[in-house]
């Protein structure tokens, strides 16, 4: 297979030059199962393992994942060694499950992140906000896919609800089961382009992927009686669409814990960021500070309280991560809030004098 069909370009070639001079082979990870990888190269697919140096010296977030470009050394035994991971253009990450604060990279070198959610009883604009924040942080272009159009009695109202939280993001309502609206997804699946499907269990990612592939390669299962999704996909795998593009299937996520920064959050809540420019304090958190333009917009009905509450929840999550990484951030934050409360009391006293 030509590497260009796998997304290879001049930027990757320039970075790989030193590896090429050492006689290594370029390849893209198309399947990951623990520490065993399937890598696509110009010479075909190879089964590969990590070199000892890479396994023990690289940080967890720097180990290969599906979508990565790697430098390989083939062996006569048929199993190649992965010696290096090329710098990623984009990567979709979350905080790994468990108590440790560790980044888990889900997929790498994406052009588009399809954020798939159902229009059925599992519909949640708040979850879409969370996925959008992670997608903007990844560097890829988020696209919201509202699946199960066939199960929604009033799709227009739900599409409008998503439009309010996904400002400037492409939104497509489809039915993977019936094939409705799938023609709108064709421009994203062109040769050399990579799309990752991300979302909770039961939103129909496997059914949608089968449509994009033009074959029933991914197994599917109905949702449970209580409406909860089933884990159908068990590993991350890069597959080839009928149009020549690539799609990365990922297991459904029960929970997406953010591993992001404030800039991604500001992009997701862009309209609040715009309102905040008129707040009295530059570092206003839109809670108890006087002169807050954002809370005033909520009082006036120009901004929903749920939208602001969602921002606060995600911001607390990111702040918690920051404090875990930097314990000194806690006292600094408390001192900042003391100053804000003092200002609020002073302004209240002054206003009472004039009444």
Fold annotation for 91-249: Rossmann fold (3.40.50)
**Model pLDDT, residue 227:** 45
Q: What is the pLDDT of residues 127-149, one digit of tens each?
A: 999 889 889 989 999 999 999 99
User: What pLDDT band is residue 23 in, cutting at 50, 70 and 90?
Assistant: very high
Q: What is the pLDDT of residues 56-84, one digit of tens each?
A: 888 878 899 999 999 999 887 778 999 99
- Residue 278: CB atoms within 10 A of its CB come to 13
Which long-range contacts (C-beta less than 8 Å, at least 24 apart) are formed by 98-106?
101/321, 101/324, 101/325, 102/60, 102/61, 103/60, 103/61, 103/259, 104/60, 104/61, 104/259, 105/61, 105/65, 106/65, 106/196, 106/198, 106/236, 106/250
Q: The domain 269-353 is classified under which CATH number: 1.10.40.50, 3.40.50.1220, 1.10.260.40, 2.30.30.20?
A: 1.10.40.50
Class of domain 3-85 as given by CATH: mainly beta
Q: What is the pLDDT of residues 271-303, one digit of tens each?
A: 999 999 999 988 888 988 899 999 999 999 999
pTM, 2 dp = 0.78
Domain spans of the chain, in order of start: 3-85, 91-249, 269-353
């Amino acid at each position: 297979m030509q590497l260009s069909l796998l997304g290879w370009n001049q930027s990757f070639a320039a970075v790989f030059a030193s590896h090429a001079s050492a006689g290594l082979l370029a390849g893209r990870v198309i399947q990951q199962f623990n520490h065993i990888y399937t890598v696509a190269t110009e010479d075909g697919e190879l089964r590969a393992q990590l070199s000892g140096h890479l396994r023990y010296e690289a940080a967890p977030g720097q180990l290969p994942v599906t979508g990565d470009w790697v430098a390989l050394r083939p062996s006569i035994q048929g199993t190649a060694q992965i010696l290096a991971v090329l710098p990623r253009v984009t990567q979709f990450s979350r905080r790994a499950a468990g108590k440790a604060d560790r980044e888990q990279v889900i997929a790498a070198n994406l052009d588009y992140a399809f954020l798939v959610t159902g229009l059925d009883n599992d519909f949640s604009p708040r979850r879409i906000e969370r996925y959008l924040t992670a997608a903007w942080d990844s560097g890829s272009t988020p696209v919201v896919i509202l699946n199960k159009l066939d199960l929604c009695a009033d799709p227009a109202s739900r599409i409008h609800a998503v439009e309010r939280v996904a400002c400037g993001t492409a939104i497509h309502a489809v039915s993977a089961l019936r094939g409705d609206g799938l023609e709108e997804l064709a421009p994203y699946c062109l040769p050399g382009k990579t799309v990752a499907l991300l979302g909770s269990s039961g939103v129909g990612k496997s059914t949608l992927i089968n449509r994009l592939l033009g074959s029933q390669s991914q197994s599917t299962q109905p949702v449970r009686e209580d409406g909860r999704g089933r884990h159908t996909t068990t590993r991350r795998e890069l597959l080839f669409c009928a149009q020549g593009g690539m799609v990365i299937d990922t297991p459904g996520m029960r929970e997406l814990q953010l591993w992001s920064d404030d800039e991604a959050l500001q992009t997701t809540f862009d309209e609040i960021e715009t309102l905040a420019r008129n707040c009295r304090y530059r570092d206003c958190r839109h809670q108890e500070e006087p002169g807050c333009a954002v809370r005033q917009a909520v009082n006036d009905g120009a901004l929903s309280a749920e939208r602001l509450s969602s921002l606060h929840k995600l911001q607390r999550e990111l702040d918690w991560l920051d404090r875990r990484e930097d314990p000194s951030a806690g006292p600094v934050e408390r001192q900042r809030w003391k100053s804000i409360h003092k200002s609020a009391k002073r302004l209240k006293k002054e206003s009472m004098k004039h009444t």
